[in-house]
Amino acid sequence: MQKDKSIAVTTKNETALLNIINHQTLIATKAMRIAGEAGGLVAEFGLRRAQGPDAGIYGSRAAIIGGAESTSNVLAGQMFGIKVTGTIAHSFVMSFETELEAFKKYASVYPNDCLLIVDTYDTLKSGVPNAITVFKELKAKGHKPLGIRLDSGDLAYLSKTARVMLDEADMQDVKIFASGDIDEKVLTALKIQGAKIDAYGIGTKLITAEPHPALGGVYKLSGMYNGGELVPKMKISDAPVKITNPGFKTIYRIYKSDGMAAADLIALRGENLNFTKPLTIFHPLETWKRKTFENYCVKDLPVQIFKKGELVYNLPTLSEIAAYAKKSREEFWEEYTRLINPHVYKVDLSQELYDLKAELLNRG
């Protein structure tokens, strides 16, 4: 009976851990790809399209870690101390007799944070001109209008044309905000086309990580203690990618003399590695591919959070986590992070770990 209970507890722990890690890692990764291409501020706008309330809330948190600077999710903002931003809704504009009337009413409530959505009817013929009319009235009263939001249409063309219209109306300080099914590929295209966009609100394709809606993280045993002795375990499969690495491990990040990351080395914990001498690593499958580092330094990446069931780690704030993620990304050359045909980053096994893996494979 006790044995069955232990199995049930292990299964529950596995499911919870995979749910938390897979989902939030997925969204943070997508947000980092988007933020890397944006060239401007990114606001997470995904709650309406998230796969349920929890996915929307914790997706907002993950998006901040990945590089978004605010969220439209008010509850997530309250729970995690995230800056909350948003704009006027189309339905608000449509509830008034005219677009201009809607803009004036909104401006009367938010005179110092006035950001108007201009594509409800006709972006260039009514939306932008009506916004300029309201902004002039706000400036005359001593207020500073924030900007306009484009939510549909050719964002490159519309933003460039709107920028000219705003500048000619002496509204050079008014920002252009864009939204509407944007992802990192769209951002790259907008950049190439010279779009005049200062900030983005990105929802569906961020919160669902389109076109990759799931992260395939798995839970497997790498070792168990039997009578005080560690017994390594590994999953074997006909598919090499599904063969796990046995034993309790650590990961060393190798940095070249310029301070940029060059490779990761997975090794057994307690393995005797000499990092004062030239270090040669090799591809874990195509072992003839080797790389020797001479002027380098290493960082042991894992950090202990729990020890014998007790928390031994000072939990960072969300902003500290986001800052660490940003700093870590900046350690990689753009050849590794580019969207199209990126250079493959080296992740290799130490000789001792490689030998242990080969031994267990040969046992069958």
Say if residue 71 is in the same domain as residue 194. yes
Say how many Å lie between the first and final Cα of the chain, rounded: 32
Same domain, 58 and 201: yes
Please state the rounded mean pLDDT for residues 224-230. Answer: 90
Whether residue 271 is contained in a domain is answered as yes
Confidence category of residue 228, pLDDT binned at 50, 70, 90: confident
Q: Judge whether 262 lies within some domain.
A: yes
Token reading at 89: 């809704």
Q: What is the pLDDT of residue 149?
A: 97
pLDDT at 363: 86
What's the mean pLDDT in 271-290? 94
- Does a structural domain hold residue 347? yes
- Residue 49 belongs to domain with CATH number: 3.20.20.70
CATH of the domain at 315: 3.20.140.10
75 pLDDT higher than 50: yes
12 confidence band (pLDDT: 50, 70, 90): low
pLDDT for the residue 10: 56
Is 110 a domain residue? yes
Same domain, 235 and 357: yes
> Residues 203, 301: one domain?
no
Q: Is residue 344 part of a domain?
A: yes
This prediction has a pTM of 0.90
Of 6-10, 198-202, 224-228, 296-300, the one with minimum mean pLDDT is 6-10
The residue among 184, 200, 171, 193 whose CA lies nearest residue 40 is 200
If asked whether residues 78 and 158 sit together in one domain, one would say yes
CA distance 69 to 59: 13
Q: What are phi and psi of 276, to 5 degrees?
A: -95, -5
C-alpha–C-alpha distance, residues 198 and 94, integer Å: 26
More reliable by pLDDT, 39 or 318 = 318
Q: Are residues 153 and 224 in the same domain?
A: no
Domain that holds residue 67: 14-207
Read off the pLDDT of residues 19-67 as tens digits, 9 standing for 90 and up. 999 999 999 999 999 999 998 899 999 999 999 999 999 999 999 999 9
Contact assessment for residue 359 and residue 208, using Cβ atoms and an 8 Å cutoff: no
End position of a domain, from candidates 207, 240, 264 = 207
Q: What distance in Å separates the CA atoms of residue 116 and residue 136, rounded to the nearest whole number?
A: 13
Q: Let me know whether 230 and 162 are in one domain.
A: no
Q: Which of 207, 229, 254 is the last residue of a domain?
A: 207
Clarify whether residues 238 and 193 are in a common domain.
no
Per-residue b/e over 228-255, b at no fewer than 16 CB within 10 Å?
A: eeeebebeeeeeeeebebbbebbebbbb
DSSP 227-266: TTEEEE-----SSGGGPPPPSSEEEEEEEETTS-EEEEEE
**Same structural domain, 166 and 269:** no
Domain count, the chain: 2
Are 18 and 161 members of one domain? yes
In a domain, 5, yes or no: no
d(CA 279, CA 255): 12
Each residue's pLDDT tens digit, 91-139: 999 999 999 999 999 999 999 999 999 999 999 999 999 999 999 999 9
Residue 7 forms part of a structural domain: no
